[in-house]
Structure 1
């Protein structure tokens, strides 16, 4: 199993970071490079406990689908999404949010396993881990930029709880 752990510091309340992190519409905007779309389940707005979403996006030159379910949810401190169907043997993404002095530490812990035995492990070691890390870093930068711009009075995407 491979684990990716990221920490991102955002000048915004945990509630705002939590909600934007589970906003389907914002995910589509932040993942525009992979042309991701929600094609089944929760297709827009805020995803919550026991809800599913099926994503379709272009990765490694192929259109891939990934269905996940929110399996743990405690507003505004953490939630977990886990793959139900997709191209991994296991895919579990934990999101944690801690606020101190109006700065939220957003922690991502992504655990996954590749299929295809030794070939999957080689692909993971040399390509996939870096690819997934960059995907998450890009998404986290989008969340940070969006929320910190909001604090400066710029027009932003509206989201409801």
Structure 2
């Protein structure tokens, strides 16, 4: 079994990060380059405990299908999705969110096993682990940028609202 662990610090609150990570629409946008789309189960919005989603995507030049299910869920601290059907022998992906002041530390812990015995292990060492690490890092970079942009827009709106309030005070004087 292989393990990939990635830590990403995001300048946004923990609830925003948690919800973005389980948002089917955001997931599709983050992996647009692999033509990943939700085709069955929960196909839009926020996936919840015991719900599943079937993905269709192009990896290594082949169209593949993968179904995963949310098997554990504690809002807004973590959730786990596990493969129900797909190209892997198995996978378990734990998404952890730790509040760090006004930031969030997002930790991905991805366990997976490829089929085909010794040949599968060789393919894993040569290609799969590197490919999956790159894919998860791209997705996390997308989530980070998305969350931080949302955070920036919220701050700008709050500032504008407070400035409008000051303008009202000055106009009245």
Distance 1:106 1:142 in 2: 13
Distance 2:144 2:133 in 1: 16
Q: Offset of 1:89 from its aligned partner?
A: 1.0
Partner of 1:158: none
Partner of 1:31: 31
TM-score (norm 1): 0.94
How many residue pairs get aligned? The number is 154
SS of alignment partner, residue 88 of structure 2: coil
- Please tell me whether Structure 1 or Structure 2 has the larger radius of gyration of its CA atoms: 2
Q: Offset of 1:132 from its aligned partner?
A: 0.2
Distance 1:153 1:111 in 2: 35
Tell me whether 1:140 sits opposite 2:140 in the alignment: yes
TM-score (norm 2): 0.88
Deviations along 1:60-94, one digit per CA (max 9) or x if unpaired, are 00000000000000000000000000011111000
Tell me whether 1:99 sits opposite 2:109 in the alignment: no
Partner of 1:119: 119
Runs of 4+ off more than 4 Å? none
Distance 1:50 1:84 in 2: 12
Distance 2:28 2:13 in 1: 22
The residue correspondences of 1:1-161 to structure 2 (distance < 5 A) are 1-153=1-153
Partner of 1:157: none
Higher relative contact order by CA 8 Å / sep ≥ 6: 1 or 2? 1
Which stretch of the first structure deviates more once superposed, 83-92 or 145-154?
145-154
Distance 2:102 2:143 in 1: 16
Q: Offset of 1:150 from its aligned partner?
A: 1.5
Backbone CA RMSD of aligned residues: 0.8
Distance 1:152 1:39 in 2: 33
Q: Offset of 1:151 from its aligned partner?
A: 1.9
Distance 1:79 1:99 in 2: 15
Q: Offset of 1:101 from its aligned partner?
A: 1.1
SS of alignment partner, residue 138 of structure 1: helix
Partner of 2:161: none
Structure 2 spans left out of the alignment, 5+ residues: 155-173
